[in-house]
Structure 1
């Protein structure tokens, strides 16, 4: 349940899914696989009536924030923790 810490992340009343992990082995990166996997996930979400896709990532994961921005996600919050800097992103469908 929503704990109230980040009001911009309150999706109460909206059908929301969280993308937890999308990982491609280093040997096959930069071939478009992650984008294809994500588009399949997004199509399933749309077909199921999902209204918002949410995820969080971190700046120390190479290319993650840029990848998700290219998929249409926007940054809605970056936590102030100096190590993790958890970056919350969402995409209204």
Structure 2
């Protein structure tokens, strides 16, 4: 198992994995923003400062992903909570269904957390949904605390965690 930053030539393979996984777990069509994260992965993550896209590979097959980007204060329900210069957003954390509960998500998150500390983030923000398999349990196990549980049709839960410094 190799966990590392995605290379430019791997973008099509990684994008296909993420898109297929998202379609299998989300009960609604992918948003334009989610699609753009995949089609513009190079400019949005690989070539952008304080952003990265990480994948887990097993014999050259993608089995998991996670990404980090600066948080842009776009979500109305938590608008103004975070400072742009020290808060990142953790997104696109997915593990192949048959490979869940094998530590791959933990390996991916450890690498993302290390990256966050390295580039100077102080707070990691993410949102998940109650309907995502194991999502909320996983993030709470990793030390994230609930900031807001919106409930409703989208079942969105907003979470945050301080980036460990000097560990």
* TM-score (normalizing by structure 1): 0.86
Aligned pairs, how many?
A: 92
Match of 1:22 in 2: 93
| Higher RCO (C-alpha 8 Å, min separation 6) | 1
Residue 14 to residue 65, structure 1, CA distance change in 2 (3 Å): same
Q: Extract unaligned runs of 5+ from structure 2.
A: 1-71
Output the CA distance in 1 between the equivalents of 2:133 and 2:96.
13
Q: Which structure is larger by alpha-carbon Rg, 1 or 2?
A: 2
Per residue, is there more helix in 1 or in 2? 2
**RMSD, aligned α-carbons:** 2.0
Hey, what does 1:53 align to over in structure 2? 124
Task: Please state which structure has a larger fraction of its residues in strand.
Answer: 2
Q: Which runs of 5+ in 1 are unaligned?
A: none
Q: Deviations over 1:54-85 (max 9, x none)?
A: 000100112100000011101100114x2112
Provide the TM-score with structure 2 as the length reference: 0.50
